[in-house]
Amino acid sequence: MTEHWTEQMKNQVNTLEELTKYINVSDGEREAIETLKTKWGTSPYFASLMDKNDPNCPIRRQVIPSLEEQTNTYGMDNYLVWKENRATEEIRPDSIARQYHDRIAFTVVQVCGIYCRHCFRKELVVDQDLQLNFDVEEGLAWIAEHPEIRDVLITGGDPLLLSDEKLAYLIGRLREMPHIQMIRIGSRLPIVLPQRVTEGLKKAIGGYHRVPVWINTQCNHPKEITEKTAQAIYELMSCGINVGNQAVLLKGINDDVDTFRELHQKLLRTRIRPYYVFYCEPAPGIDHFRTPVEKGAELIRDGLRGHTTGLAQPMYVLATKIGKIPLMPDYYITDKNQKEYTVRNYKGETTTIPNVPE
């Protein structure tokens, strides 16, 4: 298998013929690939992590289209336009999505290292029913004219698929703006293409500067983490870039206590800080990945809180058009009176502490 990231991208596994080199394709997978008009595929490296014989392999389910994507009972049509407030009166370039006063998401590219079957931007990135114009210069000009923006999330698609030169230019332009205090990059490449972390990339986006760069990746199952992932994360950290994880809660993939705990413990062992677990958003055609909303809080309660270090505790949130809504478990204060609070721990034991009147 070729190691260089550009070769990996050129040789993406995105045809039935290629896929059969890695797994025994099931009848359902074959039919979905042959009938659905959808973009799919991933790097040869990530494809090599798939279970050859199990169609329920968590990596197979994230990579390979499913006939279930044709069902849309609960998803919202035009989800992305709703979610990213694209139908508001504020005039913004297509590349700028805004839910907060002081931070924006800046979409710079539409290609990915994996076309996740559960992607909330599916209409745009995977199914490509929604056409937007992502002009980087136009986006940079808009950010320069908005001094209230202090934090820019560079997103896509996958921004780390830009060349080192383009990334250096983009980061450099943002760092020159006096109102920009931090830059975040959302990228699945540390997981699906760790070969992307090269000396050139480190030079382009890392190093000491007034404006730090943070990367948030997406890893949903412990099987996605290898020795190569660990090396790539170490390299990013060695040039000043912290890496966090934004998992998506996915039915049949990570919605059981053991997998959920192992995922978060393994992330920490790999030096990735668990940051968010997102409720799988109601984009069209991904009903089959969605659990009840309460599920994430239950998993944190039953699998993480008290069961493993506090460093492994992500925030469970629902991402909406009005921002993220925290959905953390809430069972700790069981009673309160003038004199004391009664509090409960993860084992169900209770104790009391004195109340302080306001």
285: tokens are: 């055609």
* Contact criterion met (CB below 8 Å) for 250 and 280: yes
User: At its nearest, how many Å lie between ligand SF4 and the CB of residue 122?
Assistant: 7
User: At its nearest, how many Å lie between ligand SF4 and the CB of residue 305?
Assistant: 27
Candidate list 188, 196, 301, 305; residue touching ligand SF4; CB under 6 A: 188
In the block, residue with structure tokens 């596994």: 13
Question: Which range, of 115-123, 206-214, 280-288, 306-314, touches ligand SF4 by CB under 6 A?
Answer: 115-123
Nearer to ligand SF4, 158 or 235 (CB): 158
Q: Between residue 122 and residue 141, which ones bind ligand SF4 under the rule CB under 6 A?
A: 125-126
41 binds ligand SF4 (CB under 6 A): no
Angstrom distance (rounded) from CA 194 to CA 229? 6
- Sheet containing strand 182-186, edge to edge, reads 96-98, 103-107, 151-155, 182-186, 213-217, 242-249, 273-279, 315-320, 323-326
156 binds ligand SF4 (CB under 6 A): yes
User: At its nearest, how many Å lie between ligand SF4 and the CB of residue 101?
Assistant: 25
Phi, psi at 324, each rounded to 5°: -85, 135
Question: Which range, of 121-129, 140-148, 226-234, 259-267, touches ligand SF4 by CB under 6 A?
Answer: 121-129
Nearer to ligand SF4, 38 or 181 (CB): 38
Helix axes 164-176, 136-144, angle to 10 degrees: 20
Among 106, 102, 113, which residue's Cα sits nearest to residue 62? 113
User: At its nearest, how many Å lie between ligand SF4 and the CB of residue 266?
Assistant: 20
User: At its nearest, how many Å lie between ligand SF4 and the CB of residue 155?
Assistant: 7
Angstrom distance (rounded) from CA 204 to CA 173? 12
User: At its nearest, how many Å lie between ligand SF4 and the CB of residue 283?
Assistant: 10
User: At its nearest, how many Å lie between ligand SF4 and the CB of residue 188?
Assistant: 4
User: At its nearest, how many Å lie between ligand SF4 and the CB of residue 106?
Assistant: 14
Q: Between residue 55 and residue 74, which ones bind ligand SF4 under the rule CB under 6 A?
A: none
Among 191, 181, 133, 128, which residue's Cα sits nearest to residue 158? 191
114 binds ligand SF4 (CB under 6 A): yes
Candidate list 60, 83, 121, 261; residue touching ligand SF4; CB under 6 A: 121
Angstrom distance (rounded) from CA 230 to CA 80? 33
Candidate list 29, 127, 158, 235; residue touching ligand SF4; CB under 6 A: 158
User: At its nearest, how many Å lie between ligand SF4 and the CB of residue 183?
Assistant: 18
Candidate list 59, 96, 112, 233; residue touching ligand SF4; CB under 6 A: 112
157 binds ligand SF4 (CB under 6 A): yes
Nearer to ligand SF4, 190 or 303 (CB): 190
Angstrom distance (rounded) from CA 302 to CA 95? 40
Angstrom distance (rounded) from CA 318 to CA 296? 10
Report how far apart, in Å, the C-alpha atoms of 161 and of each of 107, 110, 234, 330 are: 12, 10, 20, 40
Alpha-carbon dihedral sign for residues 49, 276, 212, 154: positive
* Total chain residues near ligand SF4 (CB under 6 A): 12
Report how far apart, in Å, the C-alpha atoms of 13 and of each of 5, 22, 45, 130, 225 are: 14, 9, 9, 24, 19
Would you tell me which residues interact with ligand SF4 (CB under 6 A)? 112, 114-116, 119, 121, 125-126, 156-158, 188
